Amino acid sequence: MKLAHRLLLQSLAIVAVLVISVVLIIDYQLHNSITDQAIHDLAGEARLVALQWRSGINADSLADNAGEATRHRITLIDREGHVAGDSDFNDARLTELENHGRRPEVMQALTTGFGSSLRMSPSTGEQQLYVAVKSPLGVVRLSVNTAVIESVFERARQGVILAGVVSFLLAALLAALLARGISKPIVQLRDLARSVASGGQAAPSVRHAPGEVRELADAVNWLATELDAKLSALDAEQSRLRKLENVRRDFVANVSHELRTPLTVVSGFAETLSDPDVPVDRRTEFAQTILSNAQRMQRIVDELLDLTRIESGHWQPRPQAVDVDDVAREVFSHATRAAAEKGVSLRTSIPLEAKSVWADRTAIEQILSNLIENAIRHTTDGSVTIETTKTDDSTEVAVVDTGLGIPEEHLGRIFERFYRVDPGRSRDSGGTGLGLSIVKHLAEAHGGRVSATSVVGKGTKIEVSFPTNFQQPS
């Protein structure tokens, strides 16, 4: 059942109980006071008659006359209880009436001066109200048929019932308005809670609600906003986790893919070698192949471990003032043969003010040897130059070549793990696809950044910035 209806019914039940009790009480009081009033009136009339009942007066004609005047039955009873006169009976029948000395109202009047009684009349057989007062000669008694009193009472009662019905209707109207007033904001509150629960937008719809309901609505609204915030935070966290999971999966797939080829080669050649029929002169060749593939796997694993160490923060750079000329000489010394084979000249362009870099020496060696190796690999008959420049807050170290260049669409991804523009060429020349990724992480560990610019057919520039104010984190 609806709340409004329930409230209305409950209020109506209360009102009904109230109205009925009030009507019953008034009814009872009314009945009493009408009867009292009748007794009082009758007593007054009886006293008037009593004044006139003196010795020497014909009692029966007095009763008749008084009965005529008051339109009530009047009975005059002497002290012995004999009926001396009665307005309803004439002389002849008076003697037939029994002695009235034992009637309760008569006995009462004789002892206290006044008596009344409500009972069946043995003379008329109807419900009568008797009122008796004492007089010097006996007792004057008036009686009235209660039907007369009842009819007065009935008229008054109708008024009371009408008032009851009217007040009930008014109260019902009021209860209906009240029930609506109370239930409306609660119903709105329910709708609000439902819309919040189903993920809908909360709206401050419960504006005209009274006190606590209004507060409850505000609380629900507040909950909804909180919930929204929490949910979107959760969403963000979830998509971050999904991304991480994808990265992890890609990584595992990439590593497996990189290791599969050399592993297949190694196991295949090892199996062949285990055959005693293999001619001696070929054994060395097979062993060489096995060795070079094992070295390739070794390099992949070493570089992955390096990368993980830097990425996880387990490795921290120990910065010092490093002379770039020194490092260039060192790195070039390992690359001279490869450069000569490809007709590439190795150069430096290191101005005096940008001669020194605040960085970890091993890291900057690793960075430069990676960049030089890449540059020589992608250049023929040109030059590879180590360039430094000084800016306000950093020293830029770049390796510039006059080689193949990198197509625009690949440029943004070359720093990703295992990303290569030409995987075959990279593998054939011993690349792992991890070099630039290591460079990027080393630079970032120094608080620096990497960037690449390239023009296909003209050459490439990979630049690493080292902030001058870099402090080793403690």
Ligand X SMILES: Nc1ncnc2c1ncn2[C@@H]1O[C@H](COP(=O)(O)OP(=O)(O)O)[C@@H](O)[C@H]1O
372 near ligand X, rule: CB under 6 A: no
356 near Mg ion, rule: CB under 5 A: no
Residue number, 293 or 374, with CB nearest to Mg ion: 374
**Options 460, 463, 466, 470; binder of ligand X; rule CB under 6 A:** 460
Query: Which phi and psi angles does 35 have, rounded to 5°?
Result: -65, -45
Query: Which phi and psi angles does 433 have, rounded to 5°?
Result: 80, 10
106 near ligand X, rule: CB under 6 A: no
DSSP 234-246: HHHHHHHHHHHHH
- Please name the helix (run of DSSP H) or strand (run of DSSP E) that holds residue 29, with its range, or none: helix 3-52
Task: Please give the distance of CA 173 from its chain centroid, rounded to a whole number.
Answer: 36
**CA–CA gap between residue 360 and residue 363 (Å, rounded):** 5
**CA–CA gap between residue 145 and residue 288 (Å, rounded):** 143
DSSP 139-197: EEEEEEEHHHHHHHHHHHHHHHHHHHHHHHHHHHHHHHHHHHHHHHHHHHHHHHHHHHH
b/e map of 191-203 (b: 16 or more CB within 10 Å)?
Answer: ebbebbeeeeebe
Whole-number minimum distance, CB 345 to ligand X, in Å? 15
420 near ligand X, rule: CB under 6 A: yes
Query: Which phi and psi angles does 368 have, rounded to 5°?
Result: -65, -40
Q: Of 46-54, 263-271, 367-375, 415-423, which part binds Mg ion (CB under 5 A)? A: 367-375
369 near ligand X, rule: CB under 6 A: no
Whole-number minimum distance, CB 336 to ligand X, in Å? 18
142 near ligand X, rule: CB under 6 A: no
374 near Mg ion, rule: CB under 5 A: yes
- Which residues within the stretch 41-80 sit at the binding site for ligand X (CB under 6 A)? none
By CB under 5 A, the count of residues binding Mg ion is 3
382 near ligand X, rule: CB under 6 A: no
435 near ligand X, rule: CB under 6 A: yes
Q: Of 181-189, 268-276, 285-293, 429-437, which part binds ligand X (CB under 6 A)? A: 429-437
414 near ligand X, rule: CB under 6 A: yes
Whole-number minimum distance, CB 451 to Mg ion, in Å? 17
Q: Alpha carbon of 175 to those of 6, 21, 291: distances in Å?
A: 11, 19, 98
Q: Which does 109 bind (CB under 5 to 8 A by kind): Mg ion, ligand X, none?
A: none
331 near ligand X, rule: CB under 6 A: no
Q: Which does 403 bind (CB under 5 to 8 A by kind): ligand X, Mg ion, none?
A: ligand X
b/e map of 364-393 (b: 16 or more CB within 10 Å)?
Answer: bbbbbbbbbbbbbbbbeebbbbbbbbbeee
**Options 164, 317, 382, 435; binder of Mg ion; rule CB under 5 A:** 435
**Interface contacts to Mg ion, rule CB under 5 A:** 374, 431, 435
**Interface contacts to ligand X, rule CB under 6 A:** 370, 374-375, 378, 401, 403-404, 406, 414, 419-422, 426, 431-437, 460
